[in-house]
Copies of this chain bind each other. A is one copy, B any other.
Amino acid sequence: MPTTLPVSGRAAVVAGWGEPLALREYPLSPPPPGALLVAVERTTICGSDVHAWEGAYAEHFGVEPPIMLGHEIVGRVVAFGDGPRVDSVGTPLAEGDRVVWEHEACGHCYFCSVERNASLCESRRIGFLVSTDAAPHFHGGFGDYSYVWPRSGRLRVPDEVDSALAAAASCALRSAIPAVTRLGPVDFTDTVVVQGTGPLGLFATALFSTHSPRRLIVIGAPEERLAVARAWGADVTISIDECPTREERLERVLAATDGRGASVVGEFSGGRDAVAEGIDLVAPNGRYVVAGSLGGPDQSVTAPKIALKNLTIVGSLGAEIDSYYKALEFLRLQRERFDWDLLLGSSFGLGEATSALRKMQAFEEIKPVLDPAA
């Protein structure tokens, strides 16, 4: 532990829904037992950060400004709370080591203990749903510092993995991994459709391509993202700009799958009708994972197709520490095969965070990077 802990740090907080972020100074306190204080190395911005900024979660979660955005974070350990100085897989941790970590589940509810799916924990502590006024203040990644909660799994970032990528992996990729896993085996006989070319869809594309499917089809826009999809393994890309109707896209998918539809479809877009469309795209006996659709209005679904096509549809909300581990491993092990940098956007300082959010809102950036030290 350093002889002296820093006494305060800056946070770019949401002071009003959709307003420019406000730079504020908050005091630091030593981490409680099991926790870590980290200096934020890089934070990448997620679609959910934009939604939170816009106030989308205000009513449902009863959250009020100020809040601190940012949940895709790599931090360097500044101070340890009491407890073993190792990460969740036993790797020793020292000051200065880079870590990623998970939301904190309570560990003592039915869903944590019996269903063993902490993503369903009803008391999960998620940084941007906690007021920044409440100590220890640094609940997110839009600041100089952040805290790793006592019960949050945490992992040392492998040296081979860049901080901005590790940050991005800690949300989008660690969500894509259980989604692909929930589908069961994918192999050379499968035709795969990925709906969506955001970070989730692009990482899913990379994951699917490691199984050498017969055909890997990605639906999305704009063209720059489709280009990343192709670089990461897509054989066929379908632009929703060029094929704006569901009928056109279905026709393209059928043409690429012997007229049967895809044996495997993944929803990673969060589009308005995405699930209704996905059920059309999947072949008889096929499998469909829904990972991107987390909100929006009800969808008009041709429900009998579920039975008539003998479908398997799975939702995926899993994101335990094992998924973080696999996400980092995927970046590390497959870094020769995939040019991960294609995903990353421009770099912004804390003072430019509002601008980063706006560019994301405008689809001008896939994954902007915040560097508090910049």
* A residues adjacent to B (C-beta < 8 A): 33, 84, 86-90, 106-117, 119-120, 153, 181, 184-189, 210-212, 214, 260, 274-276, 284-285, 290-296, 298-318, 320-322, 325-326, 329-330, 333-334, 337
Across the interface, do A334 and B212 meet the contact criterion of CB distance under 8 Å?
yes
Q: Is the CB of A211 within 8 A of B187?
A: yes
- In the assembled complex, which residues on chain B have CB atoms less than 8 Å from the CB atom of A275? 301, 303, 306
Chain B residues contacting A110 (CB-CB under 8 Å) are 89-90, 260
CB distance from A291 to the nearest CB of B (A): 6
Number of copies: 4
User: Which residues of B are found within 8 Å of A305, using beta-carbon distances?
Assistant: 315
**Contact at B310–A304, with CB atoms within 8 Å?**
no
CA distance A316 to B308 in the complex (A): 7
Cβ of A264 to closest chain B Cβ, rounded Å: 12
Interchain Cβ contacts under 8 Å between A and B, 20 examples: A84-B108, A88-B112, A181-B185, A184-B184, A185-B186, A187-B210, A188-B330, A188-B334, A210-B211, A211-B211, A275-B303, A298-B302, A298-B303, A299-B303, A300-B300, A306-B314, A307-B316, A309-B317, A310-B314, A310-B315
Instruction: Give chain A's interface secondary structure class.
Output: loop
**How many angstroms from the CA of A46 to the CA of B354 in the assembled complex?**
63
Residue from the list B113, B185, B285, B333 in contact with A214, Cβ < 8 A: B333
Quick check: A307 and B290 within 8 Å, CB to CB?
A: yes
With A188-B330, A315-B311 known as contacts, the answer to whether A293 contacts B298 (CB < 8 A) is: no
Closest 9 CB pairs of A and B: A275-B303, A306-B315, A210-B212, A307-B315, A313-B313, A88-B113, A310-B317, A185-B185, A301-B301
Known interface pairs A210-B188, A211-B212, A301-B275. Does A307 touch B317 (Cβ–Cβ under 8 Å)?
yes
The residue in chain B whose Cβ has the minimal distance to the Cβ of A310 is B317
A106 proximity list for chain B (CB < 8 A): 90
What is the CA–CA distance of A305 and B313 in the complex, to the nearest angstrom?
12
Q: Indicate if the CB atoms of B212 and A326 lie closer than 8 Å.
A: no
A170 to B101, CA, bound (A): 33
B306 touches A293 (CB 8 A): yes
Q: Find out whether the CB atom of B299 lies under 8 angstroms from the CB atom of A301.
A: yes
Report whether A291 and B307 are in contact in the complex, using a CB–CB cutoff of 8 Å: yes
Chain B residues near A312 (CB, 8 Å)? Answer: 312-315
User: In the complex, what residues of B have CB within 8 A of residue A88's CB?
Assistant: 107-108, 112-113
Given A108-B86, A108-B87, A181-B185; A284-B210 close (CB under 8 Å) = no
CB pair B322 A116 closer than 8 Å: yes
Residues of B within 8 A of A295 (CB): 304
Cβ-closest chain B residue relative to A296? B304
Q: Is there an interface contact between B314 and A311, defined as CB atoms closer than 8 Å?
A: yes
Closest-by-CB residue of B relative to A275 is: B303
Query: When chains A and B are docked, how far (Å) is the Cα of A113 from the Cα of B300?
Result: 34
Chain B min CB distance to A228 (Å): 19
Instruction: With A294-B307, A294-B308 given, name 19 new contacts (CB 8 A).
Output: A90-B109, A117-B284, A117-B310, A181-B187, A184-B185, A188-B326, A188-B329, A188-B334, A275-B306, A276-B298, A276-B301, A290-B306, A290-B307, A294-B304, A296-B303, A306-B313, A307-B317, A310-B315, A310-B316
